[in-house]
A = this chain, B = another copy of it.
């Protein structure tokens, strides 16, 4: 079973021409029952797999993929996504793909709608976007559907039959992971869940993470913990945090639901003789620095790069190889400490 069968092989085996075989394979009719049977008999015996290289050489259509991405200049959280896209482009540069990224302002629904309008104008074959704004996202998804544009989403989930695939993390479980880590570190005491909300994208993330976090403890029915939620907004983070710490001298652990753990770490590290366990998100430079100093205990890696990489490559492989796109791709929730951080950063 070394060499692969070709259409020509099948034609010879069935005693017909390759044109007829082609018609049978593509169910285009105009084939006599006799020829159909002969060919089917051959197909039942051998395992024909079309040579996708040859197919792609012939159908040398340029597939157009558009990606909507929040501007990393506005929110650096999205920066690794660009690398993910670049990696995908690089990997498939041999094939005919035209991949274009559109930046929108993650704090403006209007910007989101506007850039989607621009994408629609291009009538691409597929679109990848993070549906930050629920209502607006459903709106644009509907429009893409009407134009037969495949839509893949990443970062956060929204429900719509028109969406082909979602790539991201299970945020609820991500909260549970954080809870488990704090539980191990502390065993008891007062814990604060802190949301530092500088961008709307986090609204959904924050909720789900806190839900998972609290769910873990409520499941244990552990009475040794008290959990307090605190919402902070820049530029008053430091003042409000200091007040909170003064009011709660027994605080022993903090879970920060966004990538701004370093802001908390900075304040905490200035307090002498006080060890408060800190768990945050994302391997941005400031966070990793406090992780290495031992101020932050764990970071949870959200793998933004891989999200876009898989979002794009799954579309490409669908077009190239008819590979089915999974409905949901859940990335692992990576636990990072000072010792393994470097392996996740590139």
Q: Which residues of B contact A3 (CB under 8 A)?
A: 62
Complex Cα spacing A5 to B339, Å:
47
State whether B337 touches A334 (Cβ < 8 A).
no
Q: Which residues of B contact A271 (CB under 8 A)?
A: none
Minimum distance in angstroms from A67 CB to a CB of chain B: 17
A53 an interface residue at 8 Å Cβ cutoff?
yes
Complex Cα spacing A297 to B185, Å:
11
Complex Cα spacing A177 to B298, Å:
12
State whether A339 touches B94 (Cβ < 8 A).
no
Copies of this chain present: 2
State whether A337 touches B54 (Cβ < 8 A).
no
Tell me the nearest residue of chain B to A50, going by C-beta.
Answer: B94
One of A112-120, A126-134, A325-333 contacting the partner? A325-333
A248 an interface residue at 8 Å Cβ cutoff?
no
State whether A321 touches B62 (Cβ < 8 A).
no
A333's partner among B177, B330, B340 (CB-CB below 8 A) is B340
Q: Which residues of B contact A49 (CB under 8 A)?
A: 93-94
State whether B181 touches A98 (Cβ < 8 A).
no
Minimum distance in angstroms from A71 CB to a CB of chain B: 23
A185's partner among B185, B332, B336, B344 (CB-CB below 8 A) is B185
Given A62-B3, A184-B185, also A343-B330 (CB < 8 A): yes
Within 8 A of B (CB), among A291-333: 297, 321, 330-333
A52 an interface residue at 8 Å Cβ cutoff?
yes
Q: Residue among A56, A93, A297, A332 with the most chain B CB within 10 A?
A: A332
Contact with B along A51-78 (1 / 0, CB 8 A): 1111011001010000000000000000
Q: Which residues of B contact A216 (CB under 8 A)?
A: 339
A36 an interface residue at 8 Å Cβ cutoff?
no
Q: Which residues of B contact A217 (CB under 8 A)?
A: none
State whether B53 touches A95 (Cβ < 8 A).
yes
Q: Which residues of B contact A333 (CB under 8 A)?
A: 339-340, 343
Tell me the nearest residue of chain B to A173, going by C-beta.
Answer: B339
Minimum distance in angstroms from A338 CB to a CB of chain B: 6
State whether A4 touches B344 (Cβ < 8 A).
no
A260 an interface residue at 8 Å Cβ cutoff?
no
A94's partner among B53, B94, B96, B335 (CB-CB below 8 A) is B53
A98's partner among B2, B335, B336, B340 (CB-CB below 8 A) is B2
Complex Cα spacing A181 to B340, Å:
11
A176 an interface residue at 8 Å Cβ cutoff?
yes
Q: Residue among A173, A179, A337 with the most chain B CB within 10 A?
A: A337
Q: Which residues of B contact A330 (CB under 8 A)?
A: 343
Q: Which residues of B contact A332 (CB under 8 A)?
A: 334, 340, 343-344
Q: Which residues of B contact A179 (CB under 8 A)?
A: 339
Tell me the nearest residue of chain B to A337, going by C-beta.
Answer: B180
Contact with B along A78-100 (1 / 0, CB 8 A): 00000000000000011110100
Q: A49-B93, A53-B56 are in contact. List 13 more A-B contacts (CB 8 A).
A: A52-B95, A53-B94, A53-B95, A54-B57, A57-B57, A170-B343, A173-B340, A179-B339, A181-B337, A184-B184, A216-B339, A333-B340, A334-B334
8 contacting pairs across A/B (C-beta < 8 A):
A49-B94, A51-B57, A173-B340, A177-B339, A331-B343, A333-B340, A333-B343, A335-B336
